[in-house]
Amino acid sequence: MSDLPPRTAALPPSPFVRLNALLGAPPPGLVPVALSVGEPQGPVPSFVAEIIAREAAGFAKYPPIQGTDALRGAIAAWLTRRYALAPGAIDPETMVLPLNGTREGLFMATFAVVPERKAGGRPAVLLPNPFYSAYPAGALASGAEPVYVNALKETGFLPDFAALDEATLTRTAAIFIASPSNPEGAVADLAYWKGLFELSDRHGFVILADECYSEIYPGETPPPGALQAAQALGRSFERLLVFNSLSKRSGLAGLRSGFVAGDARLIAAYRDLRSNAGPQLSGPLQSVSAHAWGDEAHVEANRAVYRANMKIAAEELGNRTWFRLPEAGFFLWLETGAGEETALRLWRRAALRVVPGAYLANAAGIGSRPGNPGTDFIRVALVNGPETTRAALKSLASVLTGPGT
């Protein structure tokens, strides 16, 4: 319709709508295997049903948008433990805000932190390319210009924001950064965070750090986080907000429970915004969430499955030139060439459903190599059990190295 606002038309198309159109019906005689969606397939922890049953009467009450004291306290305690923060560094009263899923939180963040204008023009919001769809959606909805900064092999699969021109950086109001990144599984180290903090100081933009894959990693050392890096560098949490959720960490994607934490001034503005427009997390689900942030046993069990899957991936694909083991997360980002054609071939020959990398990125990406950085990649989600994962990766390897490839 011609009367729709331009920002709506500028929204990137859904990668999964595009994937459905590409693949069509399942190939006859084959059982499809979903390797496309990052949806954990493990069992739901037993405490979820127990707490909901015990507190079911709470569904009759309006829950506090700012979250219960118990939930905010559990989140602050988890952040302190996980990132070895100084006691009291995270005040649960002023620096933590529960969210109805981190996707909602990431989308709404720009409404709270992006001004109407910056440096005399339309504000810019920088985001990695490939990206999570909530990033550009939030930027566009808040009136900002999304600027897609390519995350390439030569930049460690993280965006080099510092390489942008001064005019763009001057009008930048916020940047999205995911570490561990989706889909590449790249992790920002202390040097990367130092450079990003210095850039934020120089240009006065807010850092929106998406850390939803922080608890899924193949080794014994967990990835560092933005709050941890700020503390190590002797900084405050000014202009810094971090996001995390129970979707990946606890395998509770349907719970729609996450949080934002960091700069108390920004949290206050965000709380005011959500008090008027934000969805609430029901009381019983807040109780489930508080328990989940305080329990590590179920997280370790989930992590063991993902570690097993990554070990299988190395065994089945490790001798392929296009294979790369991610630093964290449960995605493989495979440079197989012609990602769309590869995805279609895997579907037709083996009923394996993977996402072409180009569908997760934007063709308007800028950087040392402009254009769509996902064109030659496919994303493979290792969210199934080890037995299914091994069989699927054997089929994938066979299709990509067999006749006609």
Question: Tens digits of per-residue pLDDT, 258-316?
Answer: 999 999 999 999 999 988 887 789 999 999 999 999 999 999 999 999 999 999 999 99
The SS3 of residue 266 is: helix
Average pLDDT rounded to a whole number, residues 124-145: 95
Q: Residue type for 135, please?
A: Y
State pTM to two decimals. Answer: 0.95
348 to 17, 23, 351: CA distances (angstroms): 18, 8, 6
Question: Tens digits of per-residue pLDDT, 247-258?
Answer: 999 999 999 999
End-to-end CA distance of the chain: 42
Alpha carbon 295 to its chain centroid, in Å, reads 22
| Cα atoms in the Cβ-side hemisphere of radius 13 Å centred on 219 | 9
How many Å apart are CA 292 and CA 64, to the nearest integer?
19
287 to 68, 215, 280, 293: CA distances (angstroms): 8, 21, 13, 10
Residue 404 scores a pLDDT above 60:
no
User: What pLDDT is attached to residue 37?
Assistant: 87
Question: Tens digits of per-residue pLDDT, 372-390?
Answer: 999 999 999 999 999 999 9
User: What pLDDT is attached to residue 403?
Assistant: 46
Name the residue ranges covered by the structural domains of the chain.
6-43+298-401, 60-295
Provide the token pair at 34.
Answer: 């979903």
Residue 1 scores a pLDDT above 70:
no
Question: Tens digits of per-residue pLDDT, 42-61?
Answer: 889 999 999 999 999 999 99
User: What pLDDT is attached to residue 14?
Assistant: 87
Residue 6 scores a pLDDT above 90:
no
**Quick one: what percent of the chain has pLDDT higher than 90?**
89
Angle between helices 102-113 and 264-277 (to 10 degrees): 110
Average pLDDT rounded to a whole number, residues 80-88: 97
User: What pLDDT is attached to residue 45?
Assistant: 93
Residue 149 scores a pLDDT above 60:
yes
> What CATH number should be reported for the domain whose range is 6-43+298-401?
3.90.1150.10
Contacts of residue 230, Cβ cutoff 8 Å, sequence gap at least 6: 193, 197, 236, 237, 240
User: What pLDDT is attached to residue 9?
Assistant: 74
Residue keyed to tokens 């397939």: 41
Same fold, 6-43+298-401 and 60-295: no
Give the dihedral sign, CA 165/131/210/138.
Answer: positive
Find, among 384, 395, 393, 404, the residue nearest to 38 by Cα. 384
Residue 2 scores a pLDDT above 70:
no
Task: Provide, for the chain, the percentages of residues in helix, strand and coil under a 3-state DSSP scheme, each rounded to the nearest 5.
Answer: 45, 15, 40
Topology of domain 60-295, per CATH? Aspartate Aminotransferase; domain 2 (3.40.640)
Is the peptide bond prior to 130 cis by the omega test (within 30 degrees of 0)?
yes
Residue 162 scores a pLDDT above 60:
yes
Alpha carbon 148 to its chain centroid, in Å, reads 16
